[in-house]
Amino acid sequence: MAGIDISNLTVAGAAEAMRRGDFTSEELVRGVLDAIAEKDGAIGAYLTVDAEGALAGARAADARRRAGEDGPLLGVPVAMKDIFNVEGQPCTCASRILEGYVAPYDATVVARLKAAGAIPCGRVNMDEFAMGTSTEHSAFQITRNPAAPDRVPGGSSGGSAAAVAGGTALVSLGTDTGGSIRQPASFCGCVGLKPSYGRVSRYGVTAFASSLDQVGPLARTVEDAATVLGAIAGADPHDQTCLDRPVPDYASALRGASVRGLRIGVPKEYFVEGTDPEVMACVRAAIDRAADAGAQVEEISLPHTDYAIAVYYICATAEASANLARFDGIRYGRRRLGPDGSLQSLYDRSRTEGFGPEVKRRILLGTYVLSSGYYDAYYVRALKARTLVRRDFDEAFAKVDAIFCPVAPTPAYPLGATAGDPLKAYLGDAFTVPVNLAGLCGISVPCGRTASLGLPVGLQIVCPAFEEPRLLRAAAAMETLLG
Amino acid sequence: MTENPAAPASIDVDHLCALAHFDFSAEEKEKFRADLSSIVGYVQKLSDLDLDGIAPTQYGQPVANALREDVPEPSIPRETALANAPDSSGDEYRMPKIVE
């Protein structure tokens, strides 16, 4: 028989089909493996695929179903960003320094997905240690945007977005420290959800900037993103920043979703010179649709928007310089000895040969802003300015229920366009980093394509921390309106 | 290069390498010095802000100490952890001699 075509299959659709007995999880996983074999050569989303492990997981899920179990993720394959520890699989963070590392345990999110019957099915590409916005900083390969193969898929979760948008995964998991789920979702044309800080455990997820990192899904529909969030959210004794708050049934909350009566704030600082006019046109058109559907739209101000990039690149690199100190060539990963054979030379050579240029740049910057003489001038100032960014949102959410804005100032740009100019790449994070700095939840929902080149554009919706049900309802309503 | 309105005084990349454990060639040092100068010049825009009396924000949520009972629980077996070590001996990691 012909294999299952997963090009447009959703998680909800697959679960319903398996429930009806149309196909088994094993057949579904074979469909994913076939799609990877057929299409991934041209996209390059996957770093490794453990076909045998995935098929074994599928057979186990089929056995659970035969035993009477059911669930929205039972038997569903999930592509994993190469930053999640999955027991027995490599976890390189797309870095040479972790070549050969095999994860000795499951990250909490992985354990929860497995408990729900989901199957980790392949590890997807990323910017090295999640530092980047194009996936070009992977040490291993380029990933192409399925919508425009000469362009980047965004990043750092570029493989996660390209797999979902390119028809080689139903759903994937990514991480978002300054936009790394939302921006690739916008560039590739899928849904990308960054939950509130404290909503999802980071245990077993390689740390980049611990006051900002969050785990979330990239999916073909808002409903699928809600389903995955429901499975991974909730307190974890292994991550004390993961708050002990109830986990609502996010997917059920979407029924009858509407924007009627929703008070939408549109920040004027996001629609300025420097934002691509075609991106603005797509987002404005989506906001007009919301207004036509009964939402109350008003302009708001987030006055410290222009400072967010500076705050972010100080805070995030400071934290990264500390987090990545653990890669020293002693306990795991790449080890190289210098000419004198000393411990100092081992540290220096292992790190110099193991890390790529963007990771080194950020470690150096973080080391600089934390170093004696500069700590108060840069790091402490940034922490205080972070308070102002957060207050902007507090004041806005006193007046509106949700903020609608662009995800990124541009659509996907050509491969190589930011090479040699790191600051230019950093400025592309202007609309996503404020959400991480303030600990809020945000989502990118496809809202059309640019007029000239037909590149995907995402609408970003932002809600207060732990208001994911409101966020997802607004996103689902927009998905229907724009569908 | 993106415009750099306020380049700071020269950044001591040698000192940063010593702190962060890197061993760069002269060429790499110059490249990173130029990159850092551009980025540090940009982030100096924070000096425009009046931050007197503003409390710092260190986390995405106001998280206080999360305390729990000190109860031992199973952890990764020693041999599993050591399986990833570049060099080990018996139950231990092996590394260059640090005491003469």
pLDDT in tens, A297-317: 999 999 999 999 999 999 999
**Segment A324-358, tens digit of pLDDT:** 999 999 999 999 999 999 999 999 999 999 999 99
In a domain, residue B100? The reply is no
Q: Where does the pLDDT of residue A319 fall: very low under 50, low under 70, confident under 90, or very high at 90 and above?
A: very high
Is A99 in the same domain as A173? yes
Is A88 in the same domain as A187? yes
pLDDT at B2 over 60: no
**Segment A439-468, tens digit of pLDDT:** 999 999 999 999 999 999 999 999 999 999
The count of structural domains within chain A is 3
Is A211 in the same domain as A237? yes
Q: Where does the pLDDT of residue A1 fall: very low under 50, low under 70, confident under 90, or very high at 90 and above?
A: very low
Catalytic residue flag (residue A81): yes
Rounded CA Rg of chain A: 21
Is the CB of A330 less than 8 angstroms away from the CB of B93? yes
In a domain, residue A5? The reply is no
Q: Where does the pLDDT of residue B68 fall: very low under 50, low under 70, confident under 90, or very high at 90 and above?
A: confident
In a domain, residue B83? The reply is no
Is A284 in the same domain as A328? no
In a domain, residue B14? The reply is yes
DSSP for A390-403 reads: HHHHHHHHTT-SEE
Q: What is the pLDDT of residue A132?
A: 97
Catalytic residue flag (residue A268): no
In a domain, residue A3? The reply is no
Is A140 in the same domain as A177? yes
Q: State the smallest CA–CA distance between residue B22 and chain A in angstroms.
A: 5
In a domain, residue A2? The reply is no
Is the CB of B60 less than 8 angstroms away from the CB of A360? no
Is A339 in the same domain as A402? no
pLDDT at A98 over 60: yes
**What is the rounded average pLDDT of the residues A81-100?**
97
In a domain, residue A236? The reply is yes
**Segment A120-173, tens digit of pLDDT:** 999 999 999 999 999 999 999 999 999 999 999 999 999 999 999 999 999 999
Does A409 touch chain B if contact means CB atoms closer than 8 Å?
Answer: no
Domain boundary among A376, A404, A434: A376
Q: What is the pLDDT of residue A45?
A: 98
Rounded to whole angstroms, the Cα distance separating A63 from A161 reads 30
In a domain, residue B30? The reply is yes
Is A236 in the same domain as A283? no
Chain A interface disruption, residue of B11, B12, B37, B43, most A CBs within 10 A:
B43
Q: What is the pLDDT of residue B5?
A: 42
Is A289 in the same domain as A274? yes
Is the CB of B61 less than 8 angstroms away from the CB of A241? yes
Q: Which domain holds residue B44?
A: 9-48
What is the domain-level CATH number for residue A80? 3.90.1300.10
pLDDT at B3 over 50: no
The count of structural domains within chain B is 1
Chain A interface disruption, residue of B14, B31, B61, most A CBs within 10 A:
B61
Does A306 touch chain B if contact means CB atoms closer than 8 Å?
Answer: yes
Q: What is the pLDDT of residue B25?
A: 96
**Segment A270-290, tens digit of pLDDT:** 999 999 999 999 999 999 999
Is the CB of A421 less than 8 angstroms away from the CB of B49? no
Using a CB-CB cut-off of 8 Å, the residues of chain B touching A380 are 56
Is A126 in the same domain as A167? yes
Q: State the smallest CA–CA distance between residue A197 and chain B in angstroms.
A: 6
Is A295 in the same domain as A201? no
Q: State the smallest CA–CA distance between residue A357 and chain B in angstroms.
A: 9
Structure tokens at A332: 């795991």
In a domain, residue A336? The reply is yes
Is A282 in the same domain as A192? no
In a domain, residue B20? The reply is yes
Structure tokens at B69: 């009972």
In B21-100, which ranges are continuous DSSP H helix? 26-43, 78-82
**What is the rounded average pLDDT of the residues A408-419?**
96
Using a CB-CB cut-off of 8 Å, the residues of chain B touching A101 are 84
Could you tell me the pTM of the whole model? 0.97
Q: What is the pLDDT of residue B1?
A: 43
Is A478 in the same domain as A345? no
Domain boundary among A235, A254, A273: A254
Q: Which domain holds residue A334?
A: 310-376
In a domain, residue B74? The reply is no
Share of chain A above pLDDT 90, in %: 97
Rounded to whole angstroms, the Cα distance separating A320 from A14 reads 39
Specify which residues A59 forms β-bridges with.
Answer: none
At residue A425's C-alpha, the angle toward residues A216 and A459, to 5°, is: 45
In a domain, residue B42? The reply is yes
CA distances to A24, A301, A367, A403, A435 from A398, in Å = 49, 12, 38, 12, 16
Residue A324 is classified by DSSP as G
Is the CB of A307 less than 8 angstroms away from the CB of B83? no
In a domain, residue A382? The reply is no
Q: Where does the pLDDT of residue A2 fall: very low under 50, low under 70, confident under 90, or very high at 90 and above?
A: low
Instruction: Residue A137: name the closest of A157, A107, A119 by CA.
Output: A157
pLDDT at B9 over 90: no
In a domain, residue A26? The reply is yes
